[in-house]
Structure 1
Amino acid sequence: MILMYPKINPIALKLGPLTIHWYGLAYVAGILLGWRYAIWLINKKPLKITAQNFTDFIAFATLGIVLGGRFGHALFYAPLYYFHKPWEILFLWQPGMSFHGGFLGFLAVSIWFCRKHRLSFLELMDLAACTSSIGIFFGRIANFINGELWGRPTGKTWGMIFPHVDALPRHPSQLYEAATEGLLLFLTFFLLERFTSWRQKYCGLFAGLFSIGYSLARIVVECFREPDQEIGYLFWGTTLGQWLTLPLLLVGIGLAVLAHRKVFTHDAV
């Protein structure tokens, strides 16, 4: 049995000249729900960062994620195209976002914000570890709605034929990523927050664990995801996404080890 792609309209709503896409709504939902969840965590187990601090941070975080995602896509996946048309990097309505670029943009904005307001960078990253998977979940669902970032051909019964590629059944890898990088990571940190005091006791541990968890999920799911056509496979059948994720995995391991040894404090800027 082969599953057919449901052919969901990527446009959620049209109001005259205004066109609202599911992809844009996914970003809005991820940011708003992540913000509200972070506020709930802060009020439930308060540390140095206040609810107002995090609210002030959200707009800058959004800017860092979006611009970083666009620049990352241009740099990692389509450098020649954007070299000749650099202004199109700022065409935010066009497809093309890189998680790794968005992550770097988020880090840069976070460092600046924490230095400006004399807040603990790792405490902020621990909060982000609890909430980021919400945005990742909605983003991957939006990828599925758009019929993009499909998986490799498969003979499995859940293989799906996507409209923008060929007639071969393929892994719905967007849903794999939504389930692992999104739902599974969210539930993991929800349970850790519910039944442990690790975020309060080990500053930076959640940030390290998130980096490890996301990296492992991404590296595994990349084995089922079709690599970008412009790049293809790299060494030993690996993909660019796996190589970009490897440094994040190593940093996450180091950060988790140091955090467990209580090298960092919530007072550090």
Structure 2
Amino acid sequence: MPVFVLPFPVIDPVALQIGPLAIKWYGLAYVAGLLGGWWYARKLVMADGLWGGRARPGADQLDDMLLFVALGVVLGGRLGFVLFYDLERYLARPQDIIAVWQGGMSFHGGLIGAATGLVLFARRRGVPVLSVFDLSAAVVPIGLFLGRIANFINAELWGRPAPDVPWAMVFPHAGPVPRHPSQLYEAFGEGLVLFLLLALIVRAGGFKRPGLVAGVFGMGYAVARIVAEFFREPDPQLGFLFGTGSGAGGGLTMGMLLSIPLFLAGLALVLRARRGPAQS
């Protein structure tokens, strides 16, 4: 047991209560992430110099794009959680699939849903799919950062035991053992670091190579997620898929497994983008 253990800053998960209506921080994080991404996307599509004459969605089309993404994230995230993380339970109680208020969303499922929505949007609007992917990839870390902060406020998805880490925390409902604040690790890696990396690539001409920004996002998120999974407690209904975890090492989790094809897909996009000449 470490000499110092940081107390968990207990924050009411309900941000605002209006009669029977409860507005939770988690829901606000989704809304803020979508709106923040929409605002940043407008700035990017209006900067002609970043694109080198490449076709892209217009600023007036981003409202439709936001709608397609939001529907894809919610539907894909929920179905992804059902299929990847708790299929046995939902086969026994299929009515719980629509009970989204009980929690349960998968990033990888949400990504598949969002990508499907973006493909439909691109075909409907007649813009290149890779342009839509690149634009979306540049703004996604905003939502990831806010979502992981909301996970921390909800005291969920906590980390593995960390008896020798001075910044370990004792989370509500996680027993008396101090644990890694893995939600904050993910907010830092998947959110802040990835956002800054993609912003630098965009400023260096990344949009001029179709698929480059989306590919770097896929690879960057996969690496950040796999690293974070070494510090995050696996989902109780799954545990470790292979091996066993001890402290911050060992054991393969579902989050790691799902990130491997994402990394490979991102690598394929990066290699494709580098083969073609940059537009100018």
Q: Same fold (TM over 0.5)?
A: yes
Q: CA separation in 2, counterparts of 1:116 and 1:33?
A: 24
CA separation of 1:263/1:105 partners in 2, compared to 1, >3 Å: closer, same or farther?
Answer: farther
Question: Could you tell me which residue of structure 2 aligns to residue 187 of structure 1?
Answer: 196
Confirm or deny that 1:213 pairs with 2:216: no
**1:39–1:229 distance in 2 versus 1, CA, 3 Å:** same
Q: TM-score, normalised by structure 1?
A: 0.94
Match of 2:233? Answer: 226
- Contact 2:5/2:166 (8 A) holds in 1: yes
**How far is 1:54 from its partner?**
2.1
TM-score with structure 2 length normalisation? 0.91
* Structure 1 residue 84, shift from structure 2 partner: 2.2
Distance 1:24 1:223 in 2: 27
Q: Which residue of 2 aligns with 1:123?
A: 131
Question: How far does residue 91 in structure 1 lie from its aligned partner after superposition?
Answer: 2.2
SS in 2 for 1:148: coil
Look up the match of 1:30. Answer: 33
Gaps of 5+ in 2: 244-250
- Counterpart-to-counterpart distance in 1, 2:194 and 2:185: 12
The equivalent of 1:178 in structure 2 is: 187
RMSD: 1.6
SS in 2 for 1:235: coil
Aligned length: 264
Amino acid at match of 1:192: I
Displacement of 1:264 in angstroms is 10
Q: Stretches of 4+ moved more than 6 A in 1? A: none
* Counterpart for residue 72 of structure 1: 80
Letter paired with 2:168? G
Task: Report how far residue 188 of structure 1 moved.
Answer: 1.2
* Equivalent runs, 1:14-93 vs 2, <5 Å: 14-45=17-48, 47-48=54-55, 49-93=57-101
Long gaps (5+) in structure 1: none
Identity of aligned residues (%): 49
Task: Name the aligned partner's letter for residue 130 of structure 1.
Answer: A
* 1:13 corresponds to 2:20: no
Amino acid at match of 2:199: F
Question: Aligned AA for 2:213?
Answer: F
Q: CA deviation at 1:69?
A: 0.6
Query: Does the 8 A contact of 1:204 with 1:264 survive in 2?
Result: no
**Residue pair 2:201, 2:213 contacting (<8 A) in 1 also:** no
1:147 maps to a residue whose letter is A
